[in-house]
Amino acid sequence: MRRSIRSLLVATATAALVVPLCGVTAANASPPGFSNADKDALRNQAPADLAIGSAVWGRQQLMSYDPKAPTEYQQVLGAQFSSLTPENDMKWDALRPAPDVYDFESADALVAYAKANHQEVRGHTLLWHSQNPAWVTEASRTWTCDEARTVLEDHIRTVVGHFKGEIYEWDVANEIFQDTWDNGGVKLRTEANPFLKACADDPVGLLADAFQWAHEADPEAVLFLNDYNAEGVNAKTDAYYALSQELLDRGAPLGGFGAQAHLSLQYGFDTSLQENFERFAALGLKVAITEADVRIPLLEGETGPTAEQVATQSDRYDALLEACLNVDACSSFTVWGFPDANSWVPDVFPGEGWATPFEDDFTPKPAFDAMLESLTEATPGTSPRR
Ligand code: G3I
């Protein structure tokens, strides 16, 4: 059922409630007392059960947040989005400067900003092969599996426990499968990921325990697998589908599958995204677009995209959102930061850029307009969210 009909039914049913469900609000419902009547805001046009988010680097953007004097960036971030993902603040290299040290300063600042702006937070990420601190890289050279498990369990229980009740979705395991073009093809990253490497005899057992430790630390958080090049039905998502079934069969509290959706106009758009989402949803999982951006190869000597490139970018963002809107299990749609000046893309993909929905002066791009229109169409008859 298209979400639009369902959300109308939900809206009608909810209106009939005599007493709002205390403390239980849909993903995007604004708590009482919060008013943002801006009809041109993504969060205000989204279905009540779809969080619309952005990544944000708390250390760079939110450490000196003053609600009485927000920066323009902070104003747009709060007005447009109902969910935040820490771009870097909850990764190992930010949280764990030393084996016996946890530094929550910037992550706490991000969570505080989110609370002040009636936003939810997606935790990112508890297990990854990248952005681990030097001490992990060094120590893992000699880890036994038991030693790796001890370090990982302490991290997960401490970090998830620290944010208990404040994170609605966690990317527990990030980018744990190689790509077809990597040495060995699509298989678990038992070389690049230090924890999977130490436990290469039973990596799925480690993953199942990682999800269990996170669940015990915060039973309310929905626990995700998350990866790039995982938008359509392909060899990588086939592997994730099989892993998801195995984890569920083991009783692991896997709750969701996230497709990062880092797209480029260099390549086509994989139209099997909705089909892919539907098969994970059929397992009883939530699905999400977790890191959407659409980078544009900038033509030689050009500082900006052509009109055709801008139109295609708009179509791609909107296609990602439509697939999410068409699958009820899609719980969140997150863009990987804005404006373009904050984007990771130019540093990693020289010659590509203009990837986010906002220009550097915070002018919304056609991609923003297309997403706002799709959200508005998906919630017919509902006034801007109050
Ligand atoms: O923290 C240092 C800072 O002290 C130093 O001054 C600065 C100099 O450039 O570098 C800072 O580290 C940067 C780090 O982000 C901040 O934590 C690294 O240089 C930079 O390479 C790193 O990039 C991040 C990248 O992950 C690392 O792989 C991007 O900001 C971030 O957007 C990107 O996000 C990932 C997701 O987590 C997972 N999915 C893919 C996505 C894109 O790679």
Nearest Cα residue to atom 29 of ligand 1: 344
pLDDT digits (tens, 9 = 90+) for 308-330: 999 999 999 999 999 999 999 99
Of all protein residues, the one whose alpha carbon is nearest to atom 17 of ligand 1 is 88
> What pLDDT score was predicted for residue 38?
83
Q: Is the Cβ atom of 266 under 6 angstroms away from ligand 1?
A: no
Ligand 1 pocket, residue 130 CB under 6 Å: yes
The residue extents of the domains of the chain are: 5-377
Residue 25: pLDDT band (50, 70, 90) is very low
Centre of ligand 1 to C-alpha 336, Å, is 12
pLDDT at position 245, please? 98
Which atom from ligand 1 is nearest to the alpha carbon of 88?
17
Question: Burial of 250 by CB count in 10 Å (0-12 exposed, 13-18 middle, 19+ buried)?
Answer: middle
pLDDT for 381 equals: 67
Average the pLDDT over 7-26 and give the result.
42
| Interval 137-142 mean pLDDT | 98
Query: How many A from CA of 43 to the centre of ligand 1?
Result: 27
One of 3.20.20.80, 2.60.40.1180, 3.90.25.10, 3.40.50.300 is the CATH number of 5-377, namely 3.20.20.80
Please compute the mean of the pLDDT values over residues 224-249 and round it to a whole number.
98
Q: What is the pLDDT of residues 270-308, one digit of tens each?
A: 999 999 999 999 999 999 999 999 999 987 777 789 999
Q: What is the pLDDT of residue 28?
A: 55
Enclosing H/E stretch for 366: helix 366-378
Catalytic residue flag (residue 175): yes
User: Would you state the pLDDT for residue 382?
Assistant: 61
Determine which one of 87, 169, 175, 231 is catalytic: 175
Q: What number is the average pLDDT over the span 133-141? A: 98
Residues of the chain with pLDDT > 90, as a percent, come to 86
Residues 330-372: tens digit of each pLDDT: 999 999 999 999 999 999 999 999 999 999 999 999 999 999 9
C-alpha 84 – ligand 1 centre gap (Å): 17
Q: What percent of the chain has pLDDT over 70?
A: 89
pLDDT per residue as tens digits for the range 182-209 = 999 999 999 999 999 999 999 999 999 9
Beta carbon of 128 within 6 Å of any ligand 1 atom: no
Buried b / exposed e over 223-232, threshold 16 CB at 10 Å, is bbbbbbbbbb
Give the residue with greater pLDDT, 5 vs 69. Answer: 69
Q: Catalytic: which of 87, 120, 166, 291?
A: 291
Indicate the top mutation candidate among 87, 88, 96 to test ligand 1's pocket, ranked by most ligand atoms within 8 A of CB.
88
Q: Which atom of ligand 1 is nearest to the CA of 337?
A: 32
State the distance from the centre of ligand 1 to the C-alpha of 33, rounded, in angstroms: 36
pLDDT of 169 > 80? The answer is yes
> Which residues are 225's β-sheet partners?
173, 257
**Mean pLDDT of all residues belonging to the chain:** 91
* Cα–Cα dist 13/33, whole Å: 21
Alpha helices (runs of H) in 129-252, residue ranges in sequence order: 134-139, 145-162, 194-198, 203-217, 235-249
User: What three-state secondary structure class fits 94?
Assistant: helix
**b/e map of 354-368 (b: 16 or more CB within 10 Å)?**
bbbbbbeeeebbbbb
Rounded to 10 deg, the angle between the 235-249 and 273-281 helix axes is 10
